[in-house]
């Protein structure tokens, strides 16, 4: 009994230290308010203590630093931070032989998941690659940007290929990601040079009668593999107290899983806005733009087509896929596209008739990605905390682009980042629930030992044993209340949604006015459109501020 009390007191002390140490490390919310208010940020010192100390949230700090530095216009600092995360990822995936997804240490089972190192999810790494491409564009390196989108293309399709195994199991989500990371790093030099093509390409053709996720042809399962064998009994990976059994863990697993499933059921309409947590149509579209600028029309067509399959409602995805099908003589595809989207086809034909035209691409990102919230499920004498997303769906307002000659166009959604994050959380929940059920079994065992001791003490008129049992019960409940905190870490500065507009215009200088729909905000810029060239503008709206960057042609080559 003394040992149990000592253990509990020790754990309470550890939890107190965790609570005290975790308050000062993550100032992301404060930095986001500074960005919204256009207040200067010292990007070089961002998260310096956490990065130099290599604490458990190191990867998150590097992602936040890269994004914030980029929004502040410090592209070199952003490049450095993102490269730091890529180096960590490479070391983790190539050198770590532990079972993917089965992350475990004593603290994560006995205290909470905040004692696990933060590991960026695949959709976050894909956005990192996109933003790294933006850094290279802003610094004048089209070659560097192309390397990033080639890696992103390969990573997405390799992960999707693994994920689409017919016998794929949800709890092995990290296995599919790890196999993709490893293959990407192992073949990086060939991917960068454009000499290695991914064998998983989008199949099928747009059909307005089919939902987007039914348009992707699943590959033959005999051609695919996963890096590790299935887990026969995942609970064996986790320690339990001597007073608990695998049956108890299974009971707690089912209770926690039911609560989690209900939280996702409540968000099912938002989940439907993202067909995949892996394939990001925004990234695919930008990849297509850069491939086309480099004369790689086949690669551009593949990217446009896959973006269209994921979001067929986007008119620019439709028109650019049709345009590349015409340029690349994709006759069979073109017939299908003409049949599905006759108005878009006529629009492309009219655009192709323009003389001396250049291309304007507007990338518009709105708001911040939703943050996670904490929810509790009661399990008798104690409770378990788990992370959820709890936000309402609001259709994104488009960005309206006017010129002195009239309306040029409006942006159209390319990615709902909140929906992708929600789907990613759903996919990763299996391993978290396994850890939580092990934690619940441990706590139940400790509390149960106190109940037993108190009952025996009462029955035998042993006041010492009775008091010791009651003390154990009180300490275990206090420990649970202090230590049970859900892991709410995420890349908070990602956008809430991303939109695009693509327009071919006669060459010349344009006075553009950018204004979010139903908003008094306005941004005025002069933009030059050059014949047979592409101009890429990046506009970010956060709160009542609009941030404008001309990514290409670069105006910051000497920065």
342-373 pLDDT per residue, tens: 999 999 999 988 888 999 999 999 999 999 99
DSSP per position, 459-498: HTT-HHHHHHHHHHHHHHHHHHHHH--------TTS-SEE
User: Which is nearest to 123 in space by CA: 498, 392, 553, 533?
Assistant: 498
Backbone φ/ψ region at 409: left (φ over 0), alpha (ψ -120 to 50), beta: left
User: For residue 180, is pLDDT > 90?
Assistant: no
State the pLDDT at residue 226: 28
Residues in Cβ contact with 103 at an 8 Å cutoff, skipping those fewer than 6 apart: 116, 117, 119, 431, 435
Query: In the predicted model, what is the mean pLDDT of residues 31-49?
Result: 95
pLDDT on residue 454 = 77
Domain ranges of the chain: 2-552
pLDDT in tens, 460-502: 878 778 777 777 677 766 666 667 788 999 999 999 999 999 9
Secondary structure letter of residue 42 according to DSSP: -
pLDDT tens by residue, 75-114:
999 999 999 999 999 988 877 654 444 455 444 555 567 7
> pLDDT band at residue 431, thresholds of 50, 70 and 90?
confident
> Parallel, antiparallel, or unpaired: how do β-strands 406-410 and 399-403 relate?
antiparallel
> Region 116-141: what's the mean pLDDT?
95
User: What is the pLDDT, as a whole number, of residue 476?
Assistant: 67
In terms of Cβ atoms closer than 10 Å to its own Cβ (0-12, 13-18, 19+), residue 143 is exposed
Mean local confidence (pLDDT), 516-544: 96
**Whether the Cβ atoms of residue 387 and residue 396 lie closer than 8 Å to each other:** no
Torsion sign (Cα): 122, 125, 126, 127: positive
Sign of CA dihedral 252, 253, 258, 263: positive
- Is pLDDT of 13 > 60? no
Greater confidence (234 vs 499) lies with 499
Among the ranges given (192-201, 231-240, 295-304, 320-329), the one the predictor scored with the smallest mean pLDDT:
231-240
Q: What does the pLDDT average to over 214-228?
A: 31
Q: How far apart are CA 462 and CA 464, in angstroms?
A: 6
Weakest-pLDDT range from 205-214, 422-431, 453-462, 464-473 = 205-214
User: Do the beta carbons of residue 473 and residue 452 sit within 8 Å?
Assistant: no
Q: Are 276 and 416 in contact (CB under 8 A)?
A: no
d(CA 367, CA 482): 34
DSSP-derived letter for residue 118 is P
Mean pLDDT of the chain: 82
Q: In what order do the strands lie in the sheet with 534-542?
A: 412-416, 497-506, 357-366, 534-542, 545-552
pLDDT of residue 451: 73
Average confidence (pLDDT) over 289-294: 97
By the 8 A CB rule, do 44 and 28 touch? no
Per-residue pLDDT at 294 exceeds 60: yes
Are 327 and 501 in contact by the 8 Å Cβ rule? The answer is no
pLDDT tens digits for 241-280?
Answer: 444 445 677 888 888 889 989 999 999 999 999 988 889 9
pTM attached to this predicted model: 0.86
């Amino acid at each position: 009994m003394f040992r149990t009390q000592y253990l509990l007191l020790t754990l309470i002390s550890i939890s107190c230290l965790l609570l005290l140490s975790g308050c000062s490390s993550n100032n992301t919310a404060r930095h986001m308010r500074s960005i919204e208010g256009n207040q200067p940020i010292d990007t070089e010192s961002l998260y310096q203590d956490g990065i130099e100390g290599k604490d458990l949230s190191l990867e998150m700090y590097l992602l936040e630093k890269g994004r914030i530095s980029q929004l502040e216009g410090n592209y070199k600092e952003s490049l450095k931070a993102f490269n730091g995360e890529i180096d960590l990822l490479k070391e983790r995936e190539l050198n770590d032989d532990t079972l993917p997804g089965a992350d475990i240490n004593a603290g994560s089972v006995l205290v909470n998941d905040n004692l696990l190192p933060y590991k960026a999810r695949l959709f976050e790494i894909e956005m990192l690659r996109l933003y790294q491409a933006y850094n290279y564009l802003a610094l004048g390196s089209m070659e560097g940007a192309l390397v990033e989108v080639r890696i992103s293309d390969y990573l997405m399709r390799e992960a999707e290929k693994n994920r689409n195994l017919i016998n794929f199991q949800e709890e092995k989500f990290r296995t599919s990601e790890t196999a993709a990371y490893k293959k990407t790093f192992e073949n990086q030099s060939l991917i960068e040079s454009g000499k290695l093509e991914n064998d998983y390409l989008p199949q099928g053709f747009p059909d307005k009668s089919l939902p987007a996720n039914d348009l992707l042809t699943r590959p033959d399962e005999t051609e695919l593999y996963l890096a590790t064998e299935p887990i026969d009994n995942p609970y064996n990976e986790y320690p339990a107290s001597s007073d608990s059994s695998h049956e108890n863990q299974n009971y707690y697993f089912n209770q926690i899983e039911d609560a989690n499933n209900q939280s996702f059921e409540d968000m099912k309409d938002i989940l439907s806005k993202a067909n995949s947590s892996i394939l990001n149509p925004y990234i695919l579209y930008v990849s297509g733009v850069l491939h086309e600028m480099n004369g790689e029309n086949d690669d551009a067509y593949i990217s446009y087509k896959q973006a269209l399959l994921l979001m067929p409602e986007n008119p620019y995805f439709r028109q650019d896929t049709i345009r590349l099908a015409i340029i690349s003589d994709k006759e069979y595809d073109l017939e299908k596209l003409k049949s599905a989207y006759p108005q878009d086809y006529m629009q492309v034909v009219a655009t192709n008739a323009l003389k001396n035209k250049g291309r304007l691409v507007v990338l518009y990102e709105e708001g911040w990605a939703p943050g996670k919230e904490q929810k509790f499920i009661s399990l008798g004498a104690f409770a378990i905390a788990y992370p959820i997303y709890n936000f309402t769906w609001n259709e994104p307002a488009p960005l309206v682009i006017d010129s002195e000659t009239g309306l040029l166009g409006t942006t159209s959604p390319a990615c709902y980042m909140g929906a992708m994050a929600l789907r990613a959380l759903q996919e990763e929940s299996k391993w978290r629930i396994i850890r939580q059920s092990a934690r619940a079994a441990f706590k139940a065992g400790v509390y149960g030992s106190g109940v037993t001791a108190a009952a025996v003490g009462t029955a035998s008129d042993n006041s010492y044993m009775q008091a010791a049992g009651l003390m154990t019960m009180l300490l275990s409940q206090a420990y649970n209340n202090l230590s049970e905190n859900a892991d709410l870490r995420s890349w908070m500065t990602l956008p809430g949604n991303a939109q695009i507009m693509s327009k071919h215009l006669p060459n010349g200088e344009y006075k553009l006015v950018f204004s979010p729909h139903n908003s008094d905000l306005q941004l005025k810029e002069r933009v030059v459109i050059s014949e047979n060239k592409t101009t890429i503008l990046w506009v970010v709206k956060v709160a009542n501020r609009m941030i404008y960057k001309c990514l290409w042609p670069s105006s910051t080559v000497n920065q």
